[in-house]
């Protein structure tokens, strides 16, 4: 039995507004006081968690200096899968457990990924805007061909990241008749016959999609060098993490025609500055930017919230689950 069960706990949720208003939290099974903040600025974190036993956080940075002031803290419960906003090593060094959410977005992220792929391959936004501008009437016939339309069947889908989401995207790609390639880790060729060297995936893919975490080893994974390898002028889709693609290099590649299009749901800084490279691409018909909502179907968010409370109950009950270890 956990000693935490014997005392009322203070639980602080730093950024409740990162879950939709319709999302409900299941009961936490132990005596507690829940302090909820709609959002928290980085400079407010230390003060707000100083007396917390458990902290719930989605995207607010929880760094070593804030952890040092939280003398009672025993658990940082992430309401997300990504852990890059929490100093996991510092937390573990202070005896603080970090847990995260896993395998909740197995449908919603792949669906959003293919929504972007289909919209770009078929130039749906460009045609919608042209119809709105009166181009159909100007054409004077039943259709017009201002923007190229590409099919998916027979094309090559390069997937960077072979976890649950990457594999689900692969299944959808095969259903559309695409040839699927899983990439080796960049710089490695020793992952076996089911994987294709990273550089070859860059060269031969018609669509490239990213499904991996942001770490020191994956930051700027796709940059100027990789865009230069893309012989087939693919479309590039990122529904994983901002920072995986160098945004200046993406801007240059898309505006120069090295790639045919790009669909992004994430940026390095969220929300982006109005003059950031990706915001400056929004005038192009072959670029789509959505506000980090690939994960956010209503059923997926509720599943996330349910798992979050399950993680907290399990930890208090002495059987921690979904524990994150330092990378």
pLDDT tens profile 191-242: 788 999 999 999 999 999 999 998 889 999 999 999 999 999 999 999 999 9
41, 270, 273, 321: which one is catalytic?
270
* Edge-first strand listing for the sheet containing 195-196: 195-196, 179-183, 156-160, 207-210, 235-238, 261-264, 287-289
What separation, in Å, do the N-terminal and C-terminal C-alpha atoms of the chain show?
A: 29
pLDDT of residue 168: 97
DSSP 145-211: -SS-----TT-EEEEE--SHHHHHHHHHHHHTT-EEEEEPPTT---S-TTEE-HHHHHHH-SEEEE-
Give yes or no: 270 in active site: yes
Whether the pLDDT of residue 76 is over 80: the answer is yes
Sorted by where each begins, the domain ranges of the chain are 3-104+298-316, 108-289
**Average pLDDT, stretch 56-65?**
97
241, 251, 273, 321: which one is catalytic?
241
Q: What are the tokens at 124?
A: 């749906």
Query: Are the CB atoms for 182 and 210 separated by under 8 Å?
Result: no
pLDDT tens, 230-280?
999 999 999 999 999 999 999 999 999 999 999 999 999 999 999 999 999
Q: How confident is the model at residue 187 (pLDDT cuts 50, 70, 90)?
A: confident
Which of 13, 100, 155, 102 lies closest to 324 in space, CA to CA? Answer: 100
**Average pLDDT, stretch 140-159?**
97
pLDDT of residue 57: 98
- Fold category of 108-289 in CATH: Rossmann fold (3.40.50)
DSSP 284-320: STTEEE--S-TT--HHHHHHHHHHHHHHHHHHHTT--
- Fold category of 3-104+298-316 in CATH: Rossmann fold (3.40.50)
The DSSP symbol for 257 reads T
The whole-model pTM stands at 0.88
pLDDT of residue 323: 98
pLDDT of residue 327: 72
- Distance (Å, rounded) from C-alpha 56 to C-alpha 47? 15
- Distance (Å, rounded) from C-alpha 123 to C-alpha 288? 11
Whether the pLDDT of residue 5 is over 70: the answer is no
pLDDT of residue 3: 61
Number of CB atoms found within 10 A of residue 153's CB: 8
Query: Are the CB atoms for 219 and 88 separated by under 8 Å?
Result: no
pLDDT of residue 242: 95
Give yes or no: 241 in active site: yes
- DSSP 3-state assignment of 72? coil
pLDDT tens, 90-114?
999 999 999 999 999 999 999 999 9
Host H or E run for residue 92:
helix 88-93
pLDDT of residue 1: 46
Same fold, 3-104+298-316 and 108-289: yes
Which of 283, 243, 278 lies closest to 263 in space, CA to CA? Answer: 278
Query: Are the CB atoms for 10 and 321 separated by under 8 Å?
Result: no
């Amino acid at each position: 039995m956990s000693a935490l069960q014997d005392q009322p706990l203070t639980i602080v949720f730093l950024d409740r507004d990162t879950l939709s208003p319709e999302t409900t939290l299941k009961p936490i099974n132990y005596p507690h006081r829940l302090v909820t903040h709609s959002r928290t600025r980085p400079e407010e974190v230390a003060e707000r968690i100083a007396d917390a036993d458990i902290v719930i956080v989605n995207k607010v940075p929880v760094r070593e200096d804030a952890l040092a002031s939280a003398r009672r803290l025993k658990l940082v419960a992430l309401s997300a899968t990504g852990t890059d906003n929490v100093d996991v090593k510092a937390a573990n060094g202070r005896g603080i457990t970090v847990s995260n959410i896993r395998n909740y977005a197995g449908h919603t992220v792949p669906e959003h990924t293919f929504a972007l792929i289909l919209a770009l391959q078929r130039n749906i936004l460009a045609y919608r805007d042209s119809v709105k501008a009166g181009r159909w009437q100007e054409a004077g016939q039943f259709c017009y061909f201002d923007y190229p339309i590409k099919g998916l069947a027979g094309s090559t889908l390069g997937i960077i990241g072979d976890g649950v989401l990457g594999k689900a995207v692969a299944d959808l790609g095969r259903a559309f008749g695409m040839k699927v390639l899983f990439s080796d880790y960049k710089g490695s060729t020793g992952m076996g016959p089911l994987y294709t060297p990273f550089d070859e995936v860059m060269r031969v893919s018609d669509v490239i999609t990213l499904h991996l975490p942001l770490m020191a080893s994956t930051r700027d994974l796709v940059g100027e060098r990789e865009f230069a390898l893309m012989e087939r002028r693919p479309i590039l889709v990122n529904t994983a993490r901002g920072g995986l693609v160098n945004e200046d290099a993406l801007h240059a590649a898309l505006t120069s025609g090295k790639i045919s299009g790009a669909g992004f749901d994430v940026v390095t800084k969220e929300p982006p500055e109005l003059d950031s490279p990706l915001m400056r691409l929004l005038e192009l018909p072959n670029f789509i930017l959505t506000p980090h909502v690939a994960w956010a179907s209503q059923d997926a968010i509720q599943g996330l919230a349910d798992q979050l409370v399950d993680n907290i109950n399990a930890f208090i009950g002495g059987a921690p689950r979904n524990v994150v270890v330092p990378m």
